[in-house]
Structure 1
Amino acid sequence: MLSVRNLSVSLPPGMERAHAVSAISFDLLKGQILCIIGESGSGKSVTANAIMGLLPKVIRVTEGSIKLLDNEILDADPEHLRNLRGRVVSMIFQDPLSALNPLMTVGAQIAEAMTAHGEGTAESRKGRSLELLAEVGLPDPALMYHQYPFRLSGGQRQRVMIAIALAMEPAVLIADEPTTALDVTTQAQILNLIRDIQRRKGMSVMFITHDFGVVAEIADSVVVMEKGKIVEQGSVDKVLKNPDHPYTKRLIASVPELTGTDRVLPETSTSPILKVEHLVKTYSSGSRLLGSERLSRAVDGVSFELKPGRTLGVVGESGSGKTSLGRLLIKLMKSDSGSIFFEGTDIAQMAEGTFRALRPKIQMIFQDPFASLNPRSTIGHILTVGPVAHGTAYPQAREEAMALLSHVGLDAGAFRRYPHEFSGGQRQRIGIARALMFRPKLLVADECVSALDVSIQAQILELLDQVQRETGVSMVFITHDLRVASQICDEIAVMQKGKFVEIGPPSQIFLAPKSAYTRELVSAIPGKEQARRAA
């Protein structure tokens, strides 16, 4: 179905290496799922974009061949490529916020994929769009059809991207980190959906991921990439159980394991740094005047305490209210009712002018690095502008920024570059460095490692743990990856439909969960069954 031979893609002068992809070759067979795995910046997404004919002008293919159903992609004219995209080969992009049109409703964007190829009538396209919205697990498809992307959570936007890619049921599906932003239960649904369609239609799937649990769950064969080169490829059993290359062994060793062990930390002050009582946030949509208003409680009476130097994990499905809770804690939006006591002071209803002095003490690592980084500023400016505005001398801020870039796995050259020059995972590392620049007392981390490959993920978790032990910073760690939560959190709160349904130490949540919803989350962890059988 797809044959890549000796493909090389050059990078602009001045980058860390000459080629994004260097002399790679692989085949995607009919009805098979090929997983491409590697660290952020290894060339996975560049390979996918080259196949789709979507490479930016600053990088170009210098040699090689890409054949899709005997069509040579590299020599094809733009009109022929447009005819192939969506109908023969389709792609689920890594970053749904930048890939979706903010001015079009979700339903219109799904229908547009069919309209572009003259498929069906307006009525049949709407029916198919509603069907796809239901298939990818979005709630209330009839309502979702008329929503705009900004109204959806990160995971919900990713599901819309998957629906668009599957609209024409293409022969080849390229999935670039399609489940990165999804919670474990939705991730399991999406993997099952892609596998089901692949089997029913004989579809071939090229699945790019950094999650070995997903590889174990879905792959027929695996390609491992490092710095633009293929270092190992073979069947999933061969690569996962008997890897030959040291890099593959290192990646597999970095995969976080689900532990039910409670972390042992030195005793701290008994008075909490953060105390939340009966916090409520309600969203409204539709029109009260026309009688179509709908109210949704994103945060519904949440209460908890967080001691200095401790980490509270908040886990739950996409749309459960995790991100809304994080934004309330850092006062990026106002709560409807309830209290947020930070160091004994209620900040919930505090005026912005009064709260501004406290902002350096409460920092957030955002879920979507593309949206949270200024595209017109260099990374150096992004990291130093905040501390300088709060009185730090620029030379000192620059020195601290360079040290933090090294800590999060980026080289010194990143200081002078712009956000668009980095991969999704690299942008997330920059977001983490920016939050740590202020040496905060409370860090709200919203899916801060979800976009990172396993080796960098392990480094970042180790970094956060080191920072916490050195500075005593407290963390609210929002994640959909229960394996990560078990590694770093002292206490875990399980959130469903705006409420905490269970809260307790990792040993309780993962080994003896009391809630049926918690049991469902734990059982949906990708690769868990394969790991159990291997053991």
Structure 2
Amino acid sequence: MASASQAVASEDVALSVRDLTVSLPAGMERAHAVENVSFDLKRGQILCIIGESGSGKSVTANAIMGLLPKAIRVTSGSIDLNGTDIVAISPDKLRNLRGRVVSMIFQDPLSALNPLMTVGAQIEEVMAAHDVGTAKSRRSRAIDLLVEVGLPDPQLMYHQYPFRLSGGQRQRVMIAMALALEPAILIADEPTTALDVTTQAQILKLIRDIQRRKGMSVMFITHDFGVVAEIADSVVVMEKGHCVEQGSAEQVLKSPSHLYTRRLIAAVPHLTGKDRNPLEAADRASILKVECLVKTYRSGSALFRTQRIVPAVNGVSFDLTQGRTLGVVGESGSGKSSLGRLLIKLMESDGGSIFFEGRDVARLTEAEFRPLRPKIQMIFQDPFASLNPRSTVGQILTVGPVAHGVPHREAGERARELLSHVGLDSGAFDRYPHEFSGGQRQRVGIARALMFKPQLLIADEAVSALDVSIQAQILKLLDQIQRETGVSMIFITHDLRVASQICDEIAVMHRGQIIERGPPSQIFLDPKSAYTRELVAAIPGEQPRGARALAGVNEYRRDTAKNEERS
């Protein structure tokens, strides 16, 4: 009787991982990337694997796909896929399963897609690698897949290169490639981490709809319990290579048994509905005043009628007083990052004024603006890309002040003080960026921005790619720094939950314009604009509240559809 029930149970399991251990090279901070991990992915269900960076989530996925780098290897355990232990089979047999039986959506589609091949050619390549269909049938199938994942004008999209697509469109192309051979199992490795809330909601809905329509099994890797609440049937929680908790999504979300799980859930930012307690300061003078700022991008040729004109920033105006934080929120392409670059003069504006300390810096030449640069500093979205990999952290922090005349010794002492202040030990001074985690690199970026004791900090998506627990630490650190130094901040983000935690005022950008502005309580609980209501409604794991929270969402969607048809 027991054997019969076990047979039935095994038929319900698409993927079974038992006692999986993946060893790391000698000299690493721990011996194993994952150790004795066991879980089942049931047929037709979505299993979310959640944990911080370094917990072993992606290593587990890569082990299932047979994509582990040579430096690390599976040392024990089994991965049973439809009765086949893929740990023990040859690379050729595993290659035959990859894409056809189990397929993967990667976290960063831009680096996963070939920049020299068109979208259509890359989808067809998946089918050609398994000798499926003719050239004509593969092309037809590729276009059908582009339709299925909801990309506009599939015939045109087929001939586009990845760099011409938005982040959400590139992720849809990755999904189309993953679905090309109708796999039974889909592994999605953080596919929505860097996407804005509306695009994230669209990708989550797309994956869920495809999974239900095709009866697929999905293993979804994430660090956001908001995403888990949206799509998961069951959950596995990983910490430092170990599985610390697993169960149904309802059970883990509502009654977590492990302290680590409770800590992850507590770290998820939520719309507070409360305004931030302002800093106590007698002087509320305006430190930054922007009037009718304009930036237009032009590409193509007017002569050949291929010119494309995009108003990235279109008549933006706002004031920022000392010691306060203005949040700038909106979807990708709304003009947020362009506004940040204009404010720090990383690019020139086409019109308007930027008054900093009463002086219009928009009209200054680079030579005239250079003495003001120490007073306006930026924290970039990707700390790894913005830190020089060939320089130690000490060199990265001191090179700017030394270039502005600060003695080496004084700059070094200041750098060590700031590293301690942002929560890094003294040994960090002599280490290189690649030796740090993402959260630690972002702390280095914050320390670098503070080296000049700036009056204005511009944080461009400074926490968007971080785990929720590291995100909470960085937000707490920025709040602490502001309360200690009185620095003013422009906080650019696509995550409305994060904005509600740290901002005194929110400006909502859409198509280069600020369409709504106010305190967090008004923006999130009683939004006036249909677009803002759409943003709030798209937040994963959040139920919009307030009288106006849901009203107008359909109206916005209808207007957007009409505008897209016209364009």
| Same fold? TM cut 0.5 | yes
SS state of the match for residue 478, structure 2?
helix
Larger deviation, residues 127-136 vs 276-285: 127-136
1:348 is paired with a residue whose SS is: helix
With normalisation by structure 1, the TM-score equals: 0.89
- Which one is further off, 445-454 or 432-441? 432-441
Deviations 1:436-457 (A, max 9, x none): 4443322221221122222211
Deviation by residue 1:468-501 (Cα, 9 ceiling, x = unmatched): 1111221111112111111111111111111111
Match of 1:493 in 2: 507
Question: Which of 240, 254, 273 is the matching residue for 2:287?
Answer: 273
Partner of 2:381: 367
Q: In the alignment, which of 271, 276, 289 is matched to residue 263 of structure 1?
A: 276
Which residue, out of 326, 331, 341, partners 1:312?
A: 326
Instruction: Report the residue type matching 1:351 in the other structure.
Output: T
Aligned residues: 532
Q: Do 2:527 and 2:533's aligned partners in 1 also have CA atoms closer than 8 Å?
A: yes
CA contact (8 A) 1:20 1:227 kept: yes
Which residue of the partner structure matches residue 174 of structure 1? 187
2:370 paired with 1:356 = yes
1:335 is aligned to 2:354: no
For residue 469 of structure 2, what is the amino acid of its counterpart?
S
Which residue number in structure 1 is paired with residue 219 of structure 2? Answer: 206
Looking at structure 1, the residues matched to 256 and 287 of structure 2 have their Cα atoms a distance apart, in angstroms, of 46
1:112 aligns with 2:125: yes
Q: Which 5+ residue runs of structure 2 have no aligned equivalent?
A: 1-13, 547-567
- Structure 2: distance between partners of 1:436 and 1:350: 24
1:457-496 pair list within 5 angstroms: 457-496=471-510
Structure 1 residue aligned with 2:88: 75
Identify if the C-alpha distance between structure 1 residues 520 and 202 changes in structure 2 by more than 3 Å, giving closer, same or farther.
Answer: same
Amino acid at match of 2:539: I
Paired with 2:153 and 2:452, the residues of 1 have a C-alpha distance of 41
- 1:260 partner SS: coil
* Structure-2 separation of matches of 1:149 and 1:193: 20
**Does structure 1 conserve the Cα–Cα contact (< 8 Å) formed by 2:525 and 2:544?**
no
Q: Is the 8 A contact 1:450 1:479 kept in 2?
A: yes
1:95 to 108, 115, 123: 108
Q: Secondary structure at the match of 2:362?
A: coil
Q: In the TM superposition, what is the alpha-carbon distance from 1:263 to its structure 2 partner?
A: 1.6
CA 1:259/1:235 → structure 2, altered by over 3 Å: closer, same or farther?
same
Rate the CA distance shift 1:178–1:406 in 2: closer, same or farther, 3 A.
Answer: farther
1:32 to 30, 41, 45: 45
**What does residue range 68-467 of structure 1 map to in structure 2 within 5 Å?**
68-120=81-133, 125=138, 129=142, 132=145, 145-152=158-165, 154-265=167-278, 266-267=280-281, 269-394=283-408, 397=411, 401=415, 418-420=432-434, 424=438, 427-467=441-481
The one-letter amino acid paired with 1:524 is A
CA contact (8 A) 1:137 1:189 kept: no
Using the alignment, how far apart are the partners of 2:193 and 2:138 within structure 1? 28
Contact map agreement 1:366 1:446 (CA 8 A) in 2: yes
Give 1:83 deviation, angstroms: 2.9
Q: Distance in 2 between matches of 1:350 and 1:140?
A: 44
Higher relative contact order (CA 8 A, sep 6+): 1
SS at match of 2:334: coil
CA distance in 2, matches of 1:147, 1:332: 29
Matched residues in 1 for 2:425 and 2:70: separation? 24
Structure 2 CA distance for partners of 1:453 and 1:412, relative to 1, 3 Å: farther
Are residues 1:50 and 2:63 paired?
Answer: yes
Contact 1:158/1:182, CA 8 A, preserved across alignment: no
CA 1:126–1:22: 2 relative to 1, 3 Å: same
Specify whether residues 506 and 82 from structure 1 end up closer, same or farther in structure 2 by C-alpha distance, changes over 3 A only. same
Partner in structure 2 of residue 60 of structure 1: 73
CA apart distance, 1:190: 1.0
In structure 1, distance between residues paired with 2:522 and 2:289? 22
Report the identity percentage: 78
Give the partner amino acid of 1:113.
V
Deviation digits for residues 184-211 of structure 1 (CA, Å, limit 9, x no counterpart): 2221111111011111112111111111
1:155, 1:181 within 8 Å by CA — same for their partners in 2?
A: no
The RMSD of aligned alpha carbons is 3.0
**Alpha-carbon distance, 1:127 to partner:** 5.4
SS in 1 for 2:540: coil
Measure, in 2, the Cα distance between the counterparts of 1:10 and 1:402.
35
1:11 and 1:399 mapped to 2: Cα distance?
A: 36
For normalisation by structure 2, the TM-score amounts to 0.85
SS class of match (1:333)? coil
Deviates more, 1:121-130 or 1:465-474: 121-130
Specify the code of the residue in structure 1 equivalent to 2:460: D
For the residues of structure 2 that align with 1:477 and 1:270, how far apart are their CA atoms? 19
* Helix, strand or coil at the partner of 2:80: strand
Residue 563 (structure 2) aligns with: none
Q: How much has 1:92 moved relative to structure 2?
A: 2.2
Change in Cα spacing, 1:300 to 1:131, as seen in structure 2 (3 Å) is farther
